[in-house]
Amino acid sequence: MSGDAFAGARRRDAVAVFAVALAARIAVVAWAAGRFPPTADGTYYQRIAERIAAGLGYTWLWPDGVVTYAAHYPVGYPGAVGALYALVGAHPAGAMLLNAVLGALAALAVHQLAARAAPRSRSVPALSGALVAIHPGLVAYTPALMTEGVTGALVACAAWASAWARDRRPALAPFAVIGLLVGVATLVRPQTLVLAPAFAVLALSGPPPGGALPSQDGATRRARAMRGAASILLTLIVALLVCAPWTARNCARMNQCALVSVNGGWNLLIGADPASTGAWAPIQVPAACRDVFDEAGKDTCFGREARRFIAQHPGTWLGLVPRKLAATFDYCGAAGWYLHASNPAAFREADKVALGAVETLFERVVLLLALVWAARAAPARAPGALGVPERRAPRASLAPRALAVARLALLAVGVIAALHVHAWVGYVALLALASLQGRALLRAPVLAGAALAVLAATALTHAVFFGAGRYALVAFPLLSGLAGLAAARQSSDPPRAGAPPGAGGAVFAPPRDPRDERL
C-alpha cells in the first residue's frame, strides 16, 4: 500500500473509531435520559448549572432562602453544562450529550496517539481506539452528571496535543495548546494541573522530528535546555491563566484565594480518619472547626486539623494507603453504582452486579495487556552495542540480568494481582515495571508516557486523600490505548512513507541516546 493510501485508510479508521464511540454513547443517552435523574454529586452539579444558566452565577440557595457564593465543587463541569443549558434548556439530557461527545473525542485522541506509536500499523491504532470506544465502564457512565469521564477525555486530548507538540518541536505554540487543555481539565478536576509540566516534558522528549540525532556541542545543548525550560514554563503559565479568572473570583468572593475549589481540606480530613475504609465517608468534624461556618474557612480548618493528625500519627496515616488504593483500583463499578442510585427500579441490584462484572473483566484484560507492553518495552543492550567494548561484556551483563529478573518478578506480581481481588497491586507493578526502562521511557511514544503519568498522578492523589472506583476512570482512556500497544510488533526500523512526522521507529525499542550508557 502506498504512503498516501495508507494515510487515507488510517484517517477512515479514525473516523470509524469516533463514530462507533459516539454512537454507543448516544444510544446509552437515548435509553437513560428519561429514566435517570442526577444523583450523588450530580445533583449539586445540576443545581449549580441551572443557576449559572439563569445568570445567578456559582451561588447556592439554602433552605432558609439565603444565597451565598460557593466554590466547594470545581466550577469547570457545572460551568460548561450551565453554558449549554443557557442555549438549549436545563435538561440533564443536554449534559449527557456533552459527556457523549467528549467521550468520543477521547477515543479519537487515543487512536491518534496510537497511530504515532505504531506508525506502520492500522490494526494497533484501531484496537487502541476501539478499546476506548466500547469500554463498558466509560460508555455506561455517559449519563452520569459527574466529572471523571469528562476529565479523562480532556486529559486524553491534552496527551494528543503533547504528541502534536513533539512532532513540531521546537515551535512553542503547541505547548500553549497543551496548557489550554490541561487548564480546562484543571477547572474540572484541580489535581490535573500536575500534568501540565509532565505532558510538556513528554513533548520535549523522544526522537527529534525527522529522526536526526541532535548536535551534542555545549552551546547547542544549553540552547536546547533553555527552549525546553521555556516550553514547560509556557505550558504551566497557560494552564494557570485559564484558571486565573476563577481564582480571582474566589479571592474576591470566598474570603480567601483558591485556585479552583475549596474542598481540599475536607478530602484530606476524610482520608486521615483512622477508622477509614479508604473510601469516602461522612466527615468527622473536629471540635476546633465546629463553630466555623464560612465555606472556605471551614475547609481551611479541616485541612489544618488533618495535617495535625498526619504529623502526630504518620504511621497510622501511611497504613491507610493500601486501603485507599484498593478503593480506587480494585473495582470501579461507577456506572452501575450511579444508575442504581439514580433509579433502582430501572437499574436493579442484579443489573449493577452484571455490569460491574463485565466492566471488571474488561479492565483486568486492559491491565494484563498493559503489563505485557511494559514487559516487552524494555530496550535490550547487546554487548558491543553503542560503543560498549566486547571485553567488558561479562561485567556489563550483570546489570541487564538483574533488570531482567526484576522485570520478570514485577510482571508475575502484576499478572497475579490482575487475576485476583487486589488489582491495585497490579497497577503499582505496571508503574514499577515501566520505570525500569529508565530514561528510555521518556523517548517512548507519548501515549505510553501519558498513560503512566496519569496513572501515577491518580494513585498518588488518592493515596493522600481517599479513594473511590470512579476516580480511576480518569486514567482508563489512556490505559486502554496503552493496552492496544501490546499488539504491536517489536521493531526499530524507520517509519514508512506516509507515517506521521516525528513518529520515530519502534513501539518496543525506543531510539537510544549514547548518553544512556552513562546511567
Say yes or no to pLDDT of 516 above 60.
Answer: no
pLDDT band at residue 159 using 50, 70 and 90 as cut-offs? very high
Q: How far apart are alpha carbons 416 and 426 in whole angstroms?
A: 8
Range in 53-57, 67-71, 439-443 with the lowest mean pLDDT: 439-443
Neighbouring CB atoms inside 10 A of 46's CB total 22
Assigned C-alpha cell, 442: 521518556
pTM for the structure as a whole: 0.91
Q: Count other Cβ atoms within 10 Å, centred on residue 236.
A: 20
Does residue 38 carry a pLDDT above 80? yes
Q: If we measure between CA atoms, which residue out of 41, 5, 27 comes closest to residue 342? A: 41
Cell numbers at 100, concatenated: 457523549
Q: Pick the more confident residue, 384 or 133.
A: 133
Neighbours of 12 (CB within 10 A): 10
Q: What percent of the chain has pLDDT over 90?
A: 79
> Which residues 6+ apart lie within 8 Å of 38 measured at CB?
45, 46, 92, 145, 342
Give the mean model confidence (pLDDT) for residues 242-249.
97
Residue 15 confidence (pLDDT) above 60: yes
Q: What is the DSSP string of 278-294?
A: SB-------GGGTT--S
pLDDT at 2: 75
Instruction: State the Cα–Cα distance between residues 216 and 150, nearest whole angstrom.
Output: 42
Q: Which cell numbers in the block locate residue 59? A: 451561588
* 103, 286 Cβ separation under 8 angstroms: no
- Residues 177 and 173: their CA atoms lie apart, in Å, by 7
Separation of alpha carbons 213 and 421, rounded Å: 46
Query: What's the farthest any 2 CA atoms get from each other in the chain?
Result: 84
Which pLDDT score is estimated for 211?
58
Given this model, what pLDDT does residue 396 score? 56
Rounded to whole angstroms, the Cα distance separating 324 from 235 reads 31
Say which range, 294-298, 399-403, 479-483, has the weakest mean pLDDT. Answer: 399-403
**Cα angle value 187/284/37 (rounded, 5°):** 50
User: Is residue 145 scored above 60 in pLDDT?
Assistant: yes
> What are φ and ψ of residue 436, in 5° steps?
-65, -15
Q: Greater confidence, 214 or 453?
A: 453
Q: Considering the domain boundaries, does residue 479 fall inside one?
A: yes
Q: Mean pLDDT for the chain?
A: 90
C-alpha cell at 129: 481506539
Report, as an integer, the average pLDDT of 181-203: 97
pLDDT (mean) for 65-72: 94
Confidence of residue 395 (pLDDT cuts 50, 70, 90): low
The residue among 476, 372, 373, 371 whose CA lies nearest residue 156 is 476
User: Is 113's pLDDT higher than 50?
Assistant: yes
Q: Is residue 390 part of a domain?
A: no
The C-alpha atoms of residue 460 and residue 456 are separated, in whole angstroms, by 6
Print the domain residue range for 447: 3-208+223-380+398-491+498-512
Q: Are 18 and 102 in contact (CB under 8 A)?
A: no
pLDDT-derived band at 490 (thresholds 50, 70, 90) equals low
176 or 223, greater pLDDT: 176
Torsion angle of alpha carbons 458, 459, 465, 468, nearest 10°? 80
The answer as to whether 389 is a domain residue is no
Q: What is the CA radius of gyration of the chain?
A: 24
The angle, 0 to 180 degrees and rounded to 10, between the axes of the packed helices 349-377 and 423-435 is: 20
Mean pLDDT of 168-173: 92
Among 3-12, 243-252, 485-494, top mean pLDDT goes to: 243-252
> What pLDDT score does 225 carry?
87
**Average pLDDT of the segment spanning 11-38:** 97
Here the cell at position 509 is 525499542
Question: Residue 249: inside a domain, yes or no?
Answer: yes
Which of 209 and 272 is assigned the larger pLDDT? 272
- Convert the pLDDT of each residue in 412-425 to its tens digit: 999 999 999 999 99
Spatial separation of the C-alpha atoms in residues 127 and 449, rounded to whole Å: 18
Q: Region 13-32: what's the mean pLDDT?
A: 98
217 found inside a domain:
no
Distances (CA, A) of 497 to 5, 112, 210, 213, 440: 10, 17, 12, 20, 25
- Can you give the pLDDT at residue 504? 40
Q: What is the mean pLDDT of residues 401-409?
A: 91
Region at 15 (left for phi over 0; alpha for psi -120 to 50; beta for the rest): alpha
User: Number of folded domains in the chain?
Assistant: 1
Angle between helices 446-464 and 148-167 (to 10 degrees): 140
Q: Which residues does residue 61 pair with via DSSP β-bridges, in sequence order?
A: 67
Whether the predicted pLDDT of 118 surpasses 80: yes
Helix axes 423-435, 398-418, angle to 10 degrees: 160
In a domain, 392, yes or no: no
Residue 388 — pLDDT band, cuts 50, 70, 90?
A: very low
Would you say residue 307 has pLDDT above 90? yes
Asked, for residue 405, whether it belongs to a domain, the answer is yes
Q: What are phi and psi of 465, to 5 degrees?
A: -95, -105
Kindly state the average pLDDT of the residues 118-122.
93
Q: Residues 288, 302: contact at Cβ < 8 Å?
A: no
Q: Any residues with CB less than 8 A from the CB of 433 and at least 6 apart, and which? A: 371, 374, 375, 407, 410, 411, 414
pLDDT category at 381 given cuts 50, 70, 90 is very low
pLDDT at site 393: 52
Query: Is 386 a residue whose pLDDT tops 90?
Result: no
Q: Give the span between the Cα atoms of 157 and 182, in whole angstroms.
A: 9
Main-chain dihedrals φ then ψ at residue 256, nearest 5 degrees: -165, 160
pLDDT (average), residues 465-474: 96
* 14-18, 221-225, 320-324, range with the lowest pLDDT: 221-225
pLDDT in the model for residue 216: 66
Any domain includes 215: no
Terminal Cα-to-Cα distance of the chain (whole angstroms)? 41
